[in-house]
Amino acid sequence: MTKILDRLPVVRHVRQSVGLQRGMLVTGLAITAVFVLTAIFAPIIAPYGYSQLRDASGTFGAQLPPGGAHLLGTTVGGYDVLSRVIWGTQTAVIVIIVAVLLSIFAGVALGLISGYIGGWLDRVLVVIADAIYAFPSLLLAIVAAIAISGGQSSFWGGILAAAISITFVFIPQYFRVIRAETVRIKSEAYVESAKVIGSGAPRIMVQHVLRNATRTLPLIFTLNSSEAILTLAGLGFLGFGIEPTAAAEWGYDLNKSLSDVTSGIWWTSLFPGLAIVLSVLGITLVGESLNDLADPRLRTRRRAEVAAHTPDPLEVQP
């Protein structure tokens, strides 16, 4: 049972990490786990619905301070801030999963084909990917969101629009990484041996190239997940996100709380902003720790530093 647990990616990475690196990884995993669990159990944790304006005692009221039935207060629209923050976690997690999975499938497939086949197809795909990558990501997401849903939509329509618009931003990143790895791997001896024994191009790409070209995907996944949260919040803040009656979204709530800040009403903007900062911080800490663990030079150096500061038991006098 212990050997099986040690093979799990998260457990293996924690065991490999040392010192500050381990602290960063554990902290990032803890923060990320809290947000994921909050998203899963949002219907149970949230005291009210994301668009609920009244209960049995009547309407909530606008801009109520924290306390009583509303632990984090209410917004200018009369929504419960705590409920909006909790339901916004669910929206963010769903968008991250859809956007990153779509990006991975499209980017990996295009990068694999482009790097292995080469020729004019490779040149065309590289030019298109570079053009998209050079375009401002948020502006590209806005254009894609408007083209897909007119900027606003229902719950799933808005989530798919936001996820697909973010996908356009992420595809070139996966494409460039997988293409570079594919170009390097296709000249390796084991790939040449597979060609000699008569293996076809699809078989070689899937069984030999793909398996070795996707080792850096977990790192890119974590970094892109944090960027997806910021892009989603940016879309909502600029008014191109999901309607408040369709789902809760942190960027939209921040936009509606701008006028509250100058009036001394701090709770409508503090908690959605804090949710964005903490979620991005948690995922970024995980991504940076995985980056260090993926680099043998950093891993070896940190282990040497820890060993240098650890006293030798043979030198300890009784």
pLDDT tens per residue, range 235-291: 888 877 777 777 888 988 888 888 887 788 888 889 999 999 999 999 888 877 776
Domain coordinates in residue numbering, the chain: 2-315
Tokens representing 7 are 């093979």
Residue 219 has pLDDT above 70, yes or no: yes
- Cβ neighbours of residue 282 under 8 Å, at least 6 residues apart? 27, 28, 29, 30, 31, 32, 34, 35
Split at pLDDT 50, 70, 90, the class of 313 is very low
For domain 2-315, the CATH superfamily is MetI-like (1.10.3720.10)
Which has more pLDDT, 59 or 276?
Answer: 276
pTM: 0.79
Say how far apart CA 238 and CA 230 lie, in whole Å: 12
Nearest to 235 by CA among 254, 259, 260: 254
The pLDDT assigned to 95 comes to 87
Q: What is the mean pLDDT of residues 122-141?
A: 84
The pLDDT assigned to 279 comes to 92
**Distances from the Cα of 120 to the Cα of 117, 129, 192, 204, angstroms:** 9, 14, 22, 21
Q: What is the mean pLDDT of residues 36-47?
A: 92
Mean pLDDT for the chain overall: 79
- Cβ neighbours of residue 120 under 8 Å, at least 6 residues apart? none
Tokens representing 175 are 């494409």
Tokens representing 263 are 């009036």
Tokens representing 250 are 């942190």
Q: What is the mean pLDDT of residues 191-216?
A: 74
Q: What is the mean pLDDT of residues 61-86?
A: 88
